[in-house]
Structure 1
Amino acid sequence: MTVRELLSSLPDPTTLRAHCRAVALLDAVLDPRDPLHTFVPDWREGADLARMVNGSGDEYAVVFDPAGVFLYGFDHESDATPWREDDRVHWPGLLDGLPAALSAYPSAPLFQCEDFFDATVCLWRETGDGEWRSGPVEFEDGETDGSDWLFDLLVDRSPDAYLRHAADYYELSVDRDAVAAVLAGTPLTRRSVAALSASADFATVADRARRIGFRIDES
């Protein structure tokens, strides 16, 4: 999979935002100090930010702006890495066609590495548009841009996909029903938090959940 296939695999922005929020909350329960996925509401001028940084040089970010959604990923080992050249250059066409309303995001300091936007995948969807779009990038058979794995949890939004993530990344076995409830947007309860992690403090988790806009049931 490259960005060309990813375009048709992502859900609408509302569904994507809710899913990113839920995944960030689940990760925060499993690892309060250093979750892989995070969600920051009102990160920048009314825009929310979902982000993944794995500590091994790979990451993605999804900016939910009133003007639309800007999504990028960076797989440092992919064929499309800007580091394939001594003077970093983007894969041809990567940012071509990026709408003016979203064009400031590649220059955001958070997404810069040594004053360069390190990205191997980039796509967007303006508010009111019915489709995800990308630049006119082309790949030969076997070439990759990171789309085949970076966004697994955004493409497969099932509880089972998250269970695989928890087992692989955190080496934890997690209650499927509790995961399914969070992914469905069901208000967080003491029982669901305890099912996710016996050591989790409900008050701490509930406070974090409120801050990212997740509903709580304290009954």
Structure 2
Amino acid sequence: MTVSVNDLAERLPDVENLRNISRSLAALDAIVMLDWESRYYSYDSTWGADEQLASMKNDSGDEYSIVFGPTGVFIRGFDHESSMSPYRRSPHQPWPGVIDSVPEEFRQYVFEPAFSSGEFPLITVCLWRLSGSDSRWRFGEIEYPEGEADPDGSGWMFDLVVNRSPLLYVGFAEDAYEVELDESAVAAVYDLEPMTQELIGRLNPELLLDEARESLEAIGYPVLGDS
């Protein structure tokens, strides 16, 4: 059975819930992993004048970007081992259908330099949702490679986004950062409870709220004073 962007579109939350889980994941990573370059999840609430950017990157070359803008939301993912990778084609270019139907409102993101090799878009997964007109996530018509369970990477890349499970993040952090986390504290961040020193201490006993404040405010995560 092939898992693809079609399935991801059914599993993704609506725009506001997608924004909220993205902020939560970024806040958790900012608290658990102090080195920004080593974090998987990030969120920039001031990426553009009217745009916010949620992103994921791992140490293997896989990544995704979610742009929240005035015209809607654009999602791109890149699985570096995918047989649909632009690097597997000659000349290098996205797999047929992946970006062909992207509306004009989002074309700038397809060719955004931060999401490309410098010569072509780094993309194997693409979805979008126009504000006011789309009641569901859209994607292109794609003929996938035969005999592959997850040809575009959509089956695993957005796992923490579509499975809103604190326990899943606990397992992720143990594997990625070699830390053991309090599941109830992770759940509090998933619920966007305002950050306090007490909550930070349950996630990273060595971190002070004031040390994390700038990162959390950049994410747009609610922060209270020391308590």
Equivalenced residues, count: 219
Cα deviation digits, residues 146-182 of structure 1 (max 9, x gap): 0111111111111111111111111111011110000
Q: 2-side partners of 1:105 and 1:75: how far apart? A: 18
- Residue 180 in 1 paired to residue 187 in 2? yes
Alignment partner, residue 51 of structure 1: 55
Q: 2-side partners of 1:23 and 1:61: how far apart? A: 14
Q: 2-side partners of 1:178 and 1:168: how far apart? A: 18
TM-score, normalisation: structure 1:
0.96
For residue 157 of structure 2, give the secondary structure of its aligned residue in structure 1: coil
1:96 CA displacement? 2.1
Alignment partner, residue 24 of structure 2: 22
1:86 CA displacement? 3.5
Alignment partner, residue 104 of structure 2: 100
Q: 2-side partners of 1:206 and 1:42: how far apart? A: 16
Q: 2-side partners of 1:125 and 1:77: how far apart? A: 27
State the Cα RMSD in Å.
1.2
Moved over 6 A (4+): none
Instruction: Using CA pairs under 8 Å that are at least 6 residues apart, name the structure with larger relative contact order, 1 or 2.
Output: 2
Q: Which runs of 5+ in 1 are unaligned?
A: none
Range with greater deviation from structure 2 (19-28 or 209-218):
209-218
For residue 70 of structure 1, give the secondary structure of its aligned residue in structure 2: strand
Q: 1-side partners of 2:219 and 2:78: how far apart? A: 25
1:208 CA displacement? 1.8
Equivalent positions of 1:114-193 (< 5 A) are 114-128=118-132, 129-139=134-144, 140-143=146-149, 144-193=151-200
Cα deviation digits, residues 82-133 of structure 1 (max 9, x gap): 1112421211100122111111101111111132101110010111211001
Q: 2-side partners of 1:148 and 1:214: how far apart? A: 28
Aligned partner letter, 2:214: D
Q: 2-side partners of 1:85 and 1:212: how far apart? A: 36
- Kept in 1, the 8 Å contact 2:197–2:208? The answer is no
Higher helix share: 2
Aligned partner letter, 2:10: S
TM-score, normalisation: structure 2:
0.92
Counterpart of 2:217 (choices 196, 210, 217) is: 210
Q: 2-side partners of 1:146 and 1:16: how far apart? A: 19
1:207 CA displacement? 2.7
Q: Which runs of 5+ in 2 are unaligned?
A: none
- Kept in 1, the 8 Å contact 2:30–2:216? The answer is no
Q: 1-side partners of 2:141 and 2:211: how far apart? A: 45
Alignment partner, residue 36 of structure 1: 40
Counterpart of 2:77 (choices 73, 76, 81) is: 73
Q: 1-side partners of 2:72 and 2:61: how far apart? A: 27
Aligned partner letter, 1:202: L
1:41 CA displacement? 1.0
Q: 1-side partners of 2:172 and 2:106: how far apart? A: 31
- Kept in 1, the 8 Å contact 2:93–2:120? The answer is no
Aligned partner letter, 1:122: C
Q: 2-side partners of 1:118 and 1:141: how far apart? A: 23
